[in-house]
Each structure stands twice: as C-alpha cells, then as structure tokens.
C-alpha cells in the first residue's frame, strides 16, 4: 500500500483552518498528517499511493479504520467540529495538476457548501440508536392485547385435528399481521419521542421480521452534545421494556449528516 509513488492524497475530513499545518498525530500506516487550506477551510490529508486501501485481512482493515477514527478524534479535540470523510476518500493527481492542486480546486469549487455545513453542524455530534425487539415477547404481548388472537387460539383447541390445521394457518397469518401493526405503531411512537429531543434524525429502512433478533429501528441522530443525557433518558425508558433492547452509541463525527449539496454520493 505504501509502496510506489505517493502522489495521491487520502482525506480524513475537513476543518475550519486557514493555514497549512503538519499534525503531531500519525495517520494510517504511520503517515504524516497535514492540512491543505483554501481560504478558511482545510482538507486534512496524508500522502498515499494511487490505490485504495484494501485487504482481505479483517485485522488489517480494522487497524486502518481505527486509525482513521483516531485522527478524526484528535481533530475534534482541537477544532470542535469537522466534516468527516468516508474511509478511502483519495484524491489523485491528473496530467495537468498535482493531487494537492486538485484538493485545493475542489475546496475552492465547493467552498460555500463546505463552509455552510461546518456552520450548520457546529457544536453538534452524531449518535447511533438501534432498537431491537424480541419476537417471542412481542408475540406474547400481542396475544394478551388482541382478543381476536386469543379467541382463535381457544377455538383451535376445541377443533378436530384436520380442521385445526387449517385454522392454525389462519392464526399464523393473523399473528403476522398483528405483529406488523404492532411494530408500525411502536416504531412511530419511538420515532416521535426521539425526534422531540434531537436536532435531526435519519432512519434506515431495514426492518426485518424474520431474524431471531430483529431490528425495529436504526437511527442516526444529530444533537448538541449537551443534550446527550436527554436522549439517553428517552432510550432508557424504551430499554426498560423487556421486549426491547436499545443500543446507543456515540458521540461520532457527523458521518450521516455531512452532505455537500449532493456531492455525497449516497
């Protein structure tokens, strides 16, 4: 990876900085981390070869990813805010221009949206929220709440085995339908409670009902870091219900909210 020419530039993120600096912290594979400024914003980079970092060895990839995050952490300590890059964001040189010139030109072309984003995200951090539900416990609650399900269960017990078989299929369809309605309703309830206490929320559409331990909601939340406790309290209440398990992570740089006016590629 480090062999060959070092004509490309790996970008960790963008900070509010107007001078060229060399940072004390080491980058990926011991590289020297430095800023490339344009007006009062700067890309934080290291010199690299023109191939992306890739490996089939998980431990190697994990090491690179951790290092990327370490650099971001150091930058956040120093600058407070930044726009984080995705892993492996690498600028390369062209026939006419060096990679550094390409970076500068890119910053100049995108100055307004970069600067606006840094202002918009100032003081805010990203938090991850995943709410898992336990299918069996959910089904128990639905059975307790739904007279329809309970009645059908009772009727089946009194039936002959042939007739019961047909009704069991109906029952299983009814249970699926009730579970889906129940999930929709609880999901909306949680989303509303969480939205009330954060600046912005992004939900990933991934509900899967067939896993043993399915995910009900996966969210990225943007909030002032001093509001972390308030979100924590909302999540605690959800987590206290035995059928839910909440995973709360952060604070992260605003990976899900840094969007340079459509240049984000998502």
Where does this chain bind other proteins (CB under 8 A)? 8, 13-14, 50-58, 61-62, 65-66, 68-69, 83-92, 102, 106, 126-128, 132, 134, 136-137, 140, 208, 211-213, 215, 220, 228, 232, 235-236, 239, 242, 245-253, 255-256, 258-260, 263-266
Question: What is d(CA 243, CA 161) in angstroms, rounded to the nearest whole number?
Answer: 33
35 CB-near residues (< 8 Å, 6+ apart)? 15, 17, 19, 20, 21, 23, 42, 43, 44, 45
CB atoms within 10 A of CB 113: 15
Minimum CB–partner distance for residue 163 and other proteins (Å): 25
Query: How far apart are CB 53 and other proteins at their closest, in Å?
Result: 8
User: Considering the complex, what minimum distance in angstroms separates the CB of residue 166 from other proteins?
Assistant: 26
Nearer to other proteins by C-beta: 62 or 155?
A: 62
Between CA 75 and CA 79 the distance in angstroms is 6
* Calpha distance 119→186 (Å, rounded): 35
Q: In the complex with other proteins, which residue's Cβ is closer, 187 or 259? A: 259
The distance of closest approach from Cβ of residue 199 to other proteins in the complex, given in angstroms and rounded to an integer, is: 16
Residue closer to other proteins, measured from CB, 42 or 102: 102
- Contact predicate 211/175, CB 8 Å: no
Residue with token string 């109906």: 170
Q: How far is the CB of 39 from other proteins (least distance, A)?
A: 18
Question: Which is nearer to other proteins, 146 or 239 (by Cβ)?
Answer: 239
> Smaller CB distance to other proteins: residue 97 or 163?
97
- Rounded CA-CA distance 148/170 in Å is 12
């Amino acid at each position: 990876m480090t062999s060959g020419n070092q004509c490309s530039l790996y970008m960790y993120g963008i900070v509010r900085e107007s001078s060229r600096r060399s940072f004390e912290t080491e980058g990926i594979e011991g590289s020297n981390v430095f800023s490339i400024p344009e007006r009062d914003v700067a890309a934080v980079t290291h010199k690299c070869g023109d191939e992306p970092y890739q490996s089939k060895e998980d431990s190697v990839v994990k090491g690179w990813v951790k290092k990327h995050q370490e650099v971001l952490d150091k930058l956040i300590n120093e600058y407070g805010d930044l726009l984080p890059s995705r892993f492996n964001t690498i600028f390369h040189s062209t026939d006419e221009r060096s990679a550094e010139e390409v970076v500068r030109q890119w910053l100049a072309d995108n100055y307004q949206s970069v600067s606006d984003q840094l202002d918009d995200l100032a003081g805010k951090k990203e938090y991850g929220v995943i709410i898992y539900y336990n299918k069996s416990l959910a089904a128990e609650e639905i059975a307790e709440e739904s007279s329809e399900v309970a009645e059908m269960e009772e009727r089946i017990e009194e039936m002959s085995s042939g007739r019961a078989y047909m009704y069991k299929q109906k029952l299983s369809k009814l249970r699926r339908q009730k579970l889906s309605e129940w999930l929709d309703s609880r999901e909306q309830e949680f989303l509303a409670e969480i939205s009330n206490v954060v600046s912005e929320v992004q939900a990933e559409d991934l509900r899967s009902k067939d896993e043993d331990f399915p995910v009900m909601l996966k969210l990225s939340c943007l909030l002032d870091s001093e509001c972390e406790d308030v979100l924590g309290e909302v999540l605690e209440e959800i987590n206290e219900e035995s059928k839910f398990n909440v995973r709360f992570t952060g604070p992260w740089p605003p990976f899900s909210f840094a969007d340079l006016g459509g240049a984000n590629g998502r």
